[in-house]
Amino acid sequence: MTASQGVLAVEAGEPVWGFGWIRVSCGACDRAWLVLRGHEGEACPCGEAKVEASSGEIPRVPPEHLVPAIVAREDLAKRLKEQVRRSWLLDRGLSIPDLVGRARLTWWPRWQLDATAVGHYTAEVGYDYEARSHVERYDGAAWTTEEKVDIRVDWQPRTGEIVRRLDDVPAPALAEDALWRERLGDVSRFEPVDFAPQQVPDAWIELPDLLPDEVWHRAEPAFRAWVGRMAQEAAGGQHVREVHFVGRYAESMWTVCLRPVWRTWYIGSDGKVRRIVIDGLTGQQHGALRASWTRALVWAGLFGSVAAVATLVMVITLVAAIFLPPLLALPILAALVAIFATILAFLPVLQVWSWNARALGAGE
């Protein structure tokens, strides 16, 4: 098997798989996509540049499977609102309608390997058995014996030949695969269906940046574990360990399984593009919902001004109260307002600081 068995090279603008799709890439984020012809020149889901038709490698065959999206565009607003309403100082760019309007359903690839294991195996197969055992209890004066039955494992060596085909062993297709799976969660419980191009009308399929040769070592342990399971089943055991396989994985076929991911972005008050990713299956969200320092400072200034005015009033009325003692209530009232306003002036700053610190901690 070679890398060329799993991928093929296409020219810029060359139709892919006969679906009317072309390969495009983004100069800013370096990602490559398959999009419906005519979408070249549109903004990349990263929000930083436009995609252009490009040449490069694509999977040799169309995707084999796809996990249909559960989170629809209508659900996005609700999910984003839940996040946004937690802070009243978010960036002005964080407008829900804008975020939803920019959101694009993209498809995230994972390699799937089908192959036939041909060779010889050795393994230790474990068979459960019941053994009579005892628990002895000493209470300070005498022993009492309690008989019990333990389930134990009898490990026995087994060897033999194996010619079996295994389909759909997953392997990452993107360098960031592990990172994003950690952030957005495992979706192995969602059943994939057979791929049809109608299920991805605008395409926006992200192209693998890892070639089969680069990820073979990630799929191989799964194959070896599967050989062990086959040996265990064939020998009628309940456990297996120390699996060794000598042979080859023949008739291998690399295909792709797609997972839906919503991507959107906004421009923060610092002028930088901030990206938000929402899993199309779980709705789990990751990205920068930044709070705005500008808004925090405006509010802090407002409350600070009130505090300053109240302090001035307090001083004036205090002087007046020396001559007119019945006015003494006024400086006291002014002092209370000044203290309260000063406390309020700190709150926006603290909130923005803690919100953004949390956002950074979450791996923005």
Partner 1 sequence: MPNHPLLQPFRPPRDYERHDSAVDGVSVWAPIPVEDADTDARAGAYRCEQCGAGVGFEVAAGAVACTFCGHVAQSAVSQVGTGAAQEVFTDAAISVAEQTWELHRKELHCESCGVDIQIEEGALTAQCGFCGSGQVLVREGLVSGLRPHAVVPFKVEGQALRERIDAWLQRGWMHPADLRKSASVERFVGVYVPWWTFSARIESTWKAQVGVKKTKRVYVDGEWHTKTVIEWQWWDGEAESVLSDWLVLGTSRIAANLAERIREYDLDELVEYTPDVLAGWQAQAFDRGLMEAWDLGRAAMRTRARADCRRAIHKDKVRHLSVTADFEEERWRYVLLPVHLTAYAYNGETFHVLVNGQTGALAGQKPVVWSRITIASVACFVPGLLLGLISLPLMLVGVGFITIFIALLLLIAGGLGAMWLVKTARDAEARP
CA atoms of 4 and 284, how far apart (whole Å): 36
Residue placing its CB nearer to partner 1 in the complex, 127 or 190: 127
* Least Cβ distance, residue 145 to partner 1 (angstroms): 8
Smallest gap, in angstroms, from Cβ of residue 256 to partner 1? 26
CB nearer partner 1, residue 78 or residue 248: 248
Residue among 238 and 294 whose Cβ is closer to partner 1:
238
CA-CA distance, 187 to 159, in Å (whole number)? Answer: 36
CB 29, min distance to partner 1, A: 43
Closest to partner 1 by CB, 97 or 157: 157
Give alpha helix (H) positions in the chain. Answer: 3-6, 73-84, 96-102, 177-184, 212-235, 293-323, 329-361
Judged by the rule CB under 8 A, the positions of this chain that interact with partner 1 are 116, 118-120, 129-140, 143, 145, 150, 152, 154, 156-164, 230-231, 233-236, 247-248, 250
- How wide is the angle at C-alpha 175 spanned by C-alphas 253 and 246, nearest 5°? 45
Give the residue with the Cβ less far from partner 1, 18 or 157.
157
Residue with Cβ nearer partner 1 (242 or 270): 242
Specify the residue, 143 or 323, whose C-beta has the smaller distance to partner 1: 143
**Least Å from the CB of residue 255 to partner 1:** 22
Cβ-based burial of 136 (10 A; exposed 0-12, middle 13-18, buried ≥19): exposed
Is residue 108 within 8 A of residue 258, CB to CB? The reply is yes
The minimum distance between CB 150 and partner 1, in angstroms, equals 8
Query: In terms of CB distance, is 148 or 217 closer to partner 1?
Result: 148
CB of 241 to partner 1, least distance (A): 16
Q: Provide the minimum distance between the beta carbon of 250 and partner 1 in the complex, in angstroms, as a whole number.
A: 5
For 151-169, give one letter per residue: b (16+ CB within 10 A) or e: eeeeeeebeeebeeebeeb
Amino acid in position 92: R
- Work out the number of other CB atoms within 10 angstroms of the CB of residue 42: 14
Q: How far is the CB of 146 from partner 1 (least distance, A)?
A: 9
* Phi, psi (degrees; rounded to nearest 5) at 19: -100, 5
**Tokens 């892919």 identify what position?**
16
- Least distance to partner 1 from the beta carbon of 123, Å? 10
- Name the CA dihedral angle for 356, 361, 362, 363, rounded to a multiple of 10 degrees: 100
d(CA 69, CA 262): 9
Q: Pick the closer one to partner 1 by CB: 222 or 302.
A: 222
Instruction: For the chain, report the end-to-end CA distance as a whole number of angstroms.
Output: 38
| Contact criterion met (CB below 8 Å) for 109 and 94 | no
Contact 69, 23 (CB under 8 A): no
